[in-house]
Amino acid sequence: MPPKHQNEDSLIREIASRCRPVLDPANWHSVALGIGDDAALFRARSGCENILTCDWFLEGTHFLRNKHPPDSVGWKCLARALSDVAAMGGTPRCFLLSLALPEKLIDRWLHLFLGGLRRASHKFQCSLAGGDTTRQSKILINMTIVGDVPTGHAVTRSGARAGDILYVSGRLGEAELGLQIVRRSAGPAHKGNPSRRKHLYPEPRLALGQWLSKRRLATAMMDVSDGLSTDLPRLCAASSVGARIEEARIPQVGTSDLVIKHGRNPMQLALHGGDDYELLFTVPPRKAKLLPKTFQGVGLTAIGKITRERKLLLVDENGHATHILSGGWDPFRKKTGRHAKFSAHRRGAKALAS
Ligand code: ADP
Ligand code: MG
C-alpha cells in the first residue's frame, strides 16, 4: 500500500527511500551528499568533462494521465533525458527531479511513478541526487542530468564531413506507432506489443554511444527524438554539410495490420515519428568496416552519405531524389505550406510531443 502523505517532507522521504542512490560498478559514488540537505554534493571524476542536460516531461504535452501508466511516466522521464547523454558518448552520473503534482496524485500515482523511476535509475546506473517538489493542477516533470565523458571524447553534432557514412541505430517510427496504440487503447491484446513497449519504456543507447566515442568511430552524433526529418537537418546544419539518404535503407516498422489500422505508412512514421531515442551518427568510410551489423542486439544501419552540397535529399528506389521536409515534432512550428499536410495529419492523430 502506498503511504498517505500529509506534508511535503513525508513526500520527499518517500522519494528518497524509494530511489536510493545507485552504487556504480566501480563501487564509486558520484553523489557524495544526496537528498536531505540544502543541496547535493557531486564528486566529479578526474580526466572527465561533465555533461549537463535537462528535459521537460509534461502532462498533456508529452504524456496523458489517463493513457500513460504512472510506472511508464517514471521510467520514461529519466530514460529520455539520458538519451542526450548517450548522444554525447557519455555515462550518466546523477540526476535532479523537479516535480509538480496535483494533491490527489501524491499517494497512489506517485508510488507507481517512483517504481518506474527507480527501475530506470538502477538499469541506467544514475542516482537521484535531489530535486524540488511542489503542487500544481497538472503533472510537470523536469529532469536535470549530470553525466561525464573522458576529456576530449564527447561526440558533438558538428564533426560530420563530406563522404562520411550516416548510420542510425534500431528502427525508426516504432515509438510513434506505439503512441497510436497507447492513444487508441487497442486493448490488452497489445500489451506486449514491441512498438507500445518502445513508446512507454524507451532505452537510451548509452552503451552504443560510449563505444562509438571510446573508439573514436563517430565524427558526429545526436539522438533522434523529434523524427529523422527534423533531427537530421540539425546535425547537418551544425556540421555545415548536406546528406543524401536512401529510402530503401531506412530501418522501419513492417506494414502490419496495426500500421494499416492506424492509417499510417511505415516510411512516414520512420521519417517524421518522434520519441525513438535512437542514435544518428556519421562514420568516415575507412572506419565503417569496424562497425558491426548489430551492437548488443540493436541494429546499426547505413542509411546514406554526408555531402558537401548543403541539401538534404531522399533518394527512392528509382534513384529519384526529393528534398527532405521537416515533419517531425516542433512545438513552435508554424503550420504552413507543405508542412501543413503532415502536421494536419499529426494533429488528426493528436500526436504528442517528444
Ligand atoms: P528547500 O526548501 O531548501 O529548497 P526542499 O525542501 O525543497 O529544500 O528540499 C529538501 C531536500 O529534499 C533537498 O535535498 C532536495 O534536493 C530534496 N528534494 C526535494 N524535492 C525532491 C524531489 N522531487 N526529488 C528528489 N529530492 C528532492
Ligand atoms: Mg527546494
**Class of residue 191 by CB neighbours under 10 A (exposed 0-12, middle 13-18, buried 19+):** exposed
Testing ligand 1's pocket by substitution, the residue of 5, 9, 10, 12 carrying the most ligand atoms inside 8 A of its CB is 12
- Could you give the dihedral angle defined by the CA atoms of residues 53, 140, 175 and 66, in that order, rounded to the nearest 10 degrees? 170
The predicted pLDDT at position 190 comes to 73
The predicted pLDDT at position 49 comes to 98
The predicted pLDDT at position 346 comes to 45
* Residue stretches of the chain with pLDDT short of 50: 27, 337-351
The predicted pLDDT at position 22 comes to 78
Among the bound ligands, name the one nearest to the CA of residue 130: 1
DSSP structure class, residue 133: E
Task: Determine the distance separating the centroid of ligand 2 and the alpha carbon of 132, expressed in angstroms.
Answer: 5
What is the rounded CA–CA span in Å between residue 169 and residue 300? 5
pLDDT in tens, 91-119: 999 999 999 999 999 989 999 999 999 99
The predicted pLDDT at position 338 comes to 41
Task: Determine the distance separating the centroid of ligand 1 and the alpha carbon of 142, expressed in angstroms.
Answer: 14
Write the residue with the smallest CA distance to atom 26 of ligand 1: 130
What is the rounded CA–CA span in Å between residue 120 and residue 125? 8
Write the residue with the smallest CA distance to atom 21 of ligand 1: 131
Question: 247: closest CA among 262, 266, 223?
Answer: 266
pLDDT in tens, 295-330: 999 999 999 999 999 999 999 999 999 999 887 777
Write the residue with the smallest CA distance to atom 3 of ligand 1: 38
Q: 266 is written with which cell numbers?
A: 511505415
What is the rounded CA–CA span in Å between residue 173 and residue 179? 10
Question: 144: closest CA among 12, 22, 55?
Answer: 55
The predicted pLDDT at position 197 comes to 95
For 286-307, what is the HEC assignment?
HHHCCCCCEECCEEEEEEEEEE
Residues with CB under 6 A from ligand 1: 12, 15, 35-38, 97, 99, 128, 130-133
Nearest atom in ligand 1 to 39's CA: 14
Q: Report pTM.
A: 0.92
The predicted pLDDT at position 101 comes to 96
